[in-house]
Each structure stands twice: as C-alpha cells, then as structure tokens.
C-alpha cells in the first residue's frame, strides 16, 4: 500500500521516515518529494508498505501525530491523475486559420 505523508518538516530525511514507519511493519520504499530546481524538500512524500494491515496501523498511529514539531498527515495515496494531451502543450498543426 502506498501512503501519502504530508505536513513534514523540510528537514525530514528518508531515514527518519523509514524509522518512524518501520515501527508498524515492513517498509519497501520511502521517497521525499523535492523541488526540481533547489533540491529542497517540498514537505511531503510517499511511503510504500507491502502489508496492508501494517500500512493501516501506520496511518492510525502516525496521522495527526507530532513529528519534528509538525503534525503529520498520513493517508492512503491516491493515484496520480493522467495528464491530458500527453503533456506536450497545445496541439500544433499547419492550420493557421483557426480562431481560438
């Protein structure tokens, strides 16, 4: 189960999240989301736990709890929405007579 973890301190490390979630069971992956230009944490990330029961225990145990002076938001991650148009911007064609 993939878990969303929000409202984290910008200084939180992947190792610290691994330790916190590891109290509830096996953690397969931890990823902090970082700003692509500065490399600084954006204050949220994802934790993957293969066992749904353990993941649910982590949600119940950590959601709303203080972690590094911030109150965590922990929930099941929602699937990333598909991008329309393939993400390449407006369709381009040779037809210049269209009025937008």
**Which CATH number covers residue 65?**
3.30.70.330
Number of domains in the chain: 1
Assess if residue 98 is contained within a domain: no
Assess if residue 55 is contained within a domain: yes
Assess if residue 95 is contained within a domain: no
Domain that holds residue 72: 2-78
Assess if residue 6 is contained within a domain: yes
Q: Does residue 48 surpass a pLDDT of 80?
A: yes
Write down the residue that tokens 């393939």 correspond to: 86
Q: Does residue 97 surpass a pLDDT of 90?
A: no
Q: Does residue 47 surpass a pLDDT of 70?
A: yes
Per residue in 7-31, pLDDT (tens digit) is 999 999 999 999 999 999 999 999 9
Assess if residue 87 is contained within a domain: no
Assess if residue 93 is contained within a domain: no
Assess if residue 83 is contained within a domain: no
Rounded Cα–Cα distance for residues 100 and 27 (Å): 50
């Amino acid at each position: 189960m993939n878990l969303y973890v929000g409202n984290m301190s910008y200084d939180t490390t992947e190792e610290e999240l691994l330790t916190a979630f590891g109290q509830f069971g096996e953690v397969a992956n931890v990823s902090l989301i970082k700003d692509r230009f500065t490399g600084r944490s954006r204050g949220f990330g994802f934790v993957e736990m293969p066992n749904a029961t353990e993941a649910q225990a982590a949600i119940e145990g950590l959601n709303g709890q203080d972690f590094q002076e911030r109150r965590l938001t922990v929930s099941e991650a929602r699937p990333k929405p598909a991008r329309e148009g393939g993400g390449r911007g407006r369709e381009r064609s040779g037809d210049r007579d269209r009025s937008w």
